[in-house]
Amino acid sequence: MRRSDGHRHDGHRHDGRRRNGRDRSAWAWAWAALAGAVSGALFVGVADTVALLAARDASPVIAVGSFVVDVVPRWAKEAAIELFGSNDKLFLISTVAVAALIAAVAAGLLELARRWAGVAVIGAAGAAAIAATVTRADASPLAFLPPTIGALAAAASVHVLVDALRRWRGARERGASTTGVDRRRFLVLTGAGAALALVAGVGSRIGSAATSSIAAVRAALRLPAPRDRVTVPSGADLRLPGLSPLFTPNTDFYRVDTALTVPAIDPDTWRLTVDGLVEQRVQLSFHDLLAMGLREYAITLTCVSNQVGGDLVGNALWLGVPLRDVLSRARPRRGADMVLSRSIDGFTASTPLSALTDPGRDAILAVGMNGEPLPLEHGFPVRMVVPGLYGYVSATKWLTELKVTTFAADQAYWTPRGYSPQAPIKLSSRIDTPRIDRALAAGPTKIAGVAWAQTVGIRKVEVQIDGGPWQEAALAAPVNADTWVQWSLDWEATTGSHTLAVRATDRDGRLQEEKRTPIAPNGSTGWQTTVVRVG
Ligand SMILES: Nc1nc2c(c(=O)[nH]1)N[C@H]1C(S)=C(S)[C@@H](COP(=O)(O)O)O[C@H]1N2
Ligand SMILES: [Mo]
């Protein structure tokens, strides 16, 4: 019905306008310009969305803007500041936006003049954006992705849209009966492209605005001083070159989670619900939690995915509240044996209830990490930390709910994916220095690393050189049983290649498992062996 209507209207217009060649196609250039502009918007929208998802630091508009800041001569910068004052950034971004719009319109026009010419323009703009992005000092390894995918989307868009436009123009010039269909096809495609660009653009803006405003909230947050602090014995940190520091700086702390974008939670609206098999359903605000009083804890976190010798392990000073105090407010019912902790993004972990209520184990709700509020990537504002259990069964970040339940009734995120519902951390040791990839000169040196057996503690670390006898390493003073311990052994390194191996024994007298097993279903085992070249 509507279709035949459209045909009729088109027919009328044709009759009125068919005068000369130039006039006939002038309208098409305007549509080509629009197709170019829509494609340019898609570039930015898609790139910003990918930047938000994959490489938060690599929005191409910002990267190109920063690039311009770096390359414009000083007089131009000063002139801009003089003219626009503190709006100079806005001026810069507007200039980049206007230049991008002009390039996009040109791409549309060129594509109509000649197939692929517009695609080439977008390809060149894409290459420039990629160059500006990956050369930033703080660029992540994925920084090339946003401008690449954005450029691909824009190139496909300008090509498809102008193709549709050309078809519409052809049909119209021939006075063909398909003119209405062809016109509608072009308009629908262009509208869809514009809608997609709008959704992607607005979505990524909202996403990054939420993250950056929560980052500002976090930066302004002052946590109350803890009631007591961890005493770190002197000699706990050997400070040897190449050896992991006793406490892992937040910026170096490994990160493992399933979150595509880092959740942005406002502590003012955050609530923790304790429910399930409880006498009393409890809800806590961030303020309620802080009011319980904070204590400091030193706990080494380990990921089940850590391979023998791997780096998915880190030690931090946490500020938090004992989980048993929170759970006791809700009074778990008899029969419950598990707490299913839930993150705002749906991730869940299954932790034995006994591990969380055990007065001998410092299972905590953490709000601080190494002297600051939890970093956003590490679970801001509140996460769980449980000594002795792998992260996937205990260390829920962006925590929102503790459901008291049973292992029989509930499964956590990783359980149906091939990992054990319960997973104590396995006793392990690691050689940090020397390393296979670093040159070492002959002469006296130190073999050093870390070993951990959370909740039990390390009694002994032994090193074997070139298959010789096991030699006992010196242990640094331990902070407590929940943290890793540094160890070191003096070594007179001789020229050539050498094989080093390490194994630990915990305070219960158990020797680290020698047999190699994979990370699934509940953590790797095996003694680390490494080869080093000396001289
Ligand atoms: N919300 C949420 N919390 C999570 C995870 C996750 O995927 N989502 N991963 C867990 C895993 S597998 C580990 S090892 C630890 C890692 O914590 P980190 O990233 O602070 O080092 O977080 C745990 N908490
Ligand atoms: Mo993990």
- List residues near ligand 1 (CB under 6 A): 253-259, 301, 303, 343, 345, 347, 378, 391-392, 395-398
CB 252 within 8 A of CB 199: no
Note the ligand closest to the C-alpha atom of 400: 1
Distance CA 288, CA 271 (A): 10
Reading the block at residue 106, the tokens are 């040109």
* Ligand 1: residue whose CA is nearest its atom 15: 391
Q: Tell me, in angstroms, the distance from the centre of ligand 2 to residue 310's CA.
A: 12
Q: How far is CA 8 from CA 15, 170, 188, 316, in A?
A: 11, 17, 19, 74
Q: Which residue, chain included where needed, has tokens 């406002």?
A: 266
Note the ligand closest to the C-alpha atom of 254: 1
* Ligand 1: residue whose CA is nearest its atom 19: 255
- Give φ, ψ of 496 to 5 degrees: 125, -175
Q: Tell me, in angstroms, the distance from the centre of ligand 1 to residue 316's CA.
A: 15
- Cα 210-200-260 angle, rounded to 5 deg: 55
Distance CA 480, CA 247 (A): 13
Q: Tell me, in angstroms, the distance from the centre of ligand 2 to residue 414's CA.
A: 10
Atom of ligand 1 nearest to the CA of 384: 24
Atom of ligand 1 nearest to the CA of 254: 21
Q: Tell me, in angstroms, the distance from the centre of ligand 2 to residue 295's CA.
A: 25
DSSP E strands, 453-534? 458-465, 470-472, 474-475, 485-493, 496-506, 528-534
Note the ligand closest to the C-alpha atom of 384: 1
Distance CA 51, CA 60 (A): 8
* Ligand 1: residue whose CA is nearest its atom 7: 257
Report the b/e string of 501-521 with b at 16+ CB within 10 A: bbbbbbeeeeebbeeeeebee
Note the ligand closest to the C-alpha atom of 305: 2
* Ligand 1: residue whose CA is nearest its atom 13: 391
432 membership: H or E segment, kind and range: strand 428-433
Q: Tell me, in angstroms, the distance from the centre of ligand 1 to residue 324's CA.
A: 21
94 membership: H or E segment, kind and range: helix 88-113
Distance CA 215, CA 381 (A): 11
Ligand 1: which of 251, 254, 257 to mutate, most ligand atoms within 8 Å of CB? Answer: 257
Scanning 18-73, the segments in alpha helix (DSSP H) are 21-54, 60-71
Distance CA 423, CA 99 (A): 56
Size of the chain in residues: 535
Surrounding residues of ion ligand 2, Cβ less than 5 A? 256, 303-304, 391-392
* Ligand 1: residue whose CA is nearest its atom 20: 378
Atom of ligand 1 nearest to the CA of 344: 1
Q: Which residue, chain included where needed, has tokens 């630990």?
A: 504
Q: What pLDDT does 85 receive?
A: 64
- Give φ, ψ of 188 to 5 degrees: -65, -45
Percent of all residues in the chain with a pLDDT value above 70, rounded to a whole number: 92
Note the ligand closest to the C-alpha atom of 259: 1
- Cα 300-305-308 angle, rounded to 5 deg: 80
Q: What is the DSSP string of 115-178?
A: TTHHHHHHHHHHHHHHHHHHTSTT--TTTTHHHHHHHHHHHHHHHHHHHHHHHHHHHHHHT-TT
The parts of the chain modelled with pLDDT lower than 70 are: 1-24, 55-58, 74, 77-78, 81-82, 85-89, 137-139, 260
Q: Tell me, in angstroms, the distance from the centre of ligand 2 to residue 339's CA.
A: 18
Cis preceding-peptide flag for 521 (omega within 30 of 0): yes
Q: Tell me, in angstroms, the distance from the centre of ligand 2 to residue 393's CA.
A: 8
DSSP annotation of 86 reads G
* Cβ neighbour number for residue 356 with a 10 Å cutoff: 25
Atom of ligand 1 nearest to the CA of 304: 14
Q: Tell me, in angstroms, the distance from the centre of ligand 2 to residue 358's CA.
A: 23
Note the ligand closest to the C-alpha atom of 395: 1
Handedness of CA 417, 422, 425, 426 (dihedral sign): negative
Q: What pLDDT does 4 receive?
A: 37
Q: What pLDDT does 67 receive?
A: 78
Atom of ligand 1 nearest to the CA of 255: 19
* Ligand 1: residue whose CA is nearest its atom 24: 396
Q: Tell me, in angstroms, the distance from the centre of ligand 1 to residue 137's CA.
A: 28
Q: Tell me, in angstroms, the distance from the centre of ligand 2 to residue 528's CA.
A: 20
Ligand 1: which of 253, 256, 386 to mutate, most ligand atoms within 8 Å of CB? Answer: 256
DSSP E strands, 256-409? 271-276, 282-285, 295-302, 313-322, 338-343, 348-352, 364-369, 372-373, 383-385, 399-405
Q: Tell me, in angstroms, the distance from the centre of ligand 2 to residue 391's CA.
A: 5
Q: What pLDDT does 259 receive?
A: 76
Half-sphere exposure of 93 (CA within 13 A, CB side): 10
* Ligand 1: residue whose CA is nearest its atom 5: 257
Note the ligand closest to the C-alpha atom of 523: 2
For residue range 305-336, list pLDDT tens digits in order.
999 999 999 999 999 999 999 999 999 999 99
Distance CA 148, CA 130 (A): 7
* Ligand 1: residue whose CA is nearest its atom 12: 392
- Cα 150-155-159 angle, rounded to 5 deg: 150
Atom of ligand 1 nearest to the CA of 392: 12
- Radius of gyration of the chain, Cα coordinates, nearest whole angstrom: 31
Q: Tell me, in angstroms, the distance from the centre of ligand 2 to residue 273's CA.
A: 24
